[in-house]
């Protein structure tokens, strides 16, 4: 059994999920295709724009991965499996869940 109760876990997971969704929406402009801007100064500004776009896409991929982890934790919560390692089935340490409520594995299996 996990050291944090289901209601607290659900609240924390949903808050984390909402925070990530808001961050993703705020960064959507940076992920758009880079157009050729005749007002920009040469090749370097286009390269800068492409670099910003690449970094924004990488950050979005990390956010999508974190959303998948959170959604999986919410499913485990619904199924009564939350707080147990997905590999060995042992209880995940309360401190670990306190730091990362979406943690799917105990420290030994991580």
- pLDDT tens for each residue of 13-39: 999 999 999 998 887 665 556 555 555
Question: Which pLDDT score is estimated for 53?
Answer: 80
Average pLDDT over residues 64-82: 97
How many Cβ atoms sit within 10 Å of the Cβ of residue 45?
13
Q: How many CB atoms lie within 10 A of CB 95?
A: 9
pLDDT value of position 2: 42
For 97, list phi and psi in degrees, rounded to 5.
-65, -30
pLDDT at 50: 80
- Model pLDDT, residue 40: 53
What tokens appear for 87 in the block? 């590999």
3-class SS of residue 56: helix
Query: Hey, where are the domains in the chain?
Result: 6-99
Architecture of domain 6-99: Up-down Bundle (1.20)
């Amino acid at each position: 059994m996990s050291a944090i109760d289901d209601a607290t876990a659900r609240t924390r997971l949903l808050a984390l999920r909402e925070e990530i969704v808001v961050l993703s929406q705020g960064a959507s402009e940076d992920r758009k295709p880079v157009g050729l801007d005749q007002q920009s100064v040469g090749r370097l500004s286009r390269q800068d724009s492409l670099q910003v776009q690449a970094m924004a896409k990488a950050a979005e991929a990390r956010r999508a991965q974190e959303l998948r982890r959170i959604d999986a934790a919410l499913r485990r919560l619904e199924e009564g499996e939350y707080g147990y390692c997905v590999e060995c089935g042992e209880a995940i340490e309360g401190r670990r869940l306190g730091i990362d409520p979406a943690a799917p594995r105990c420290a030994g299996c991580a």
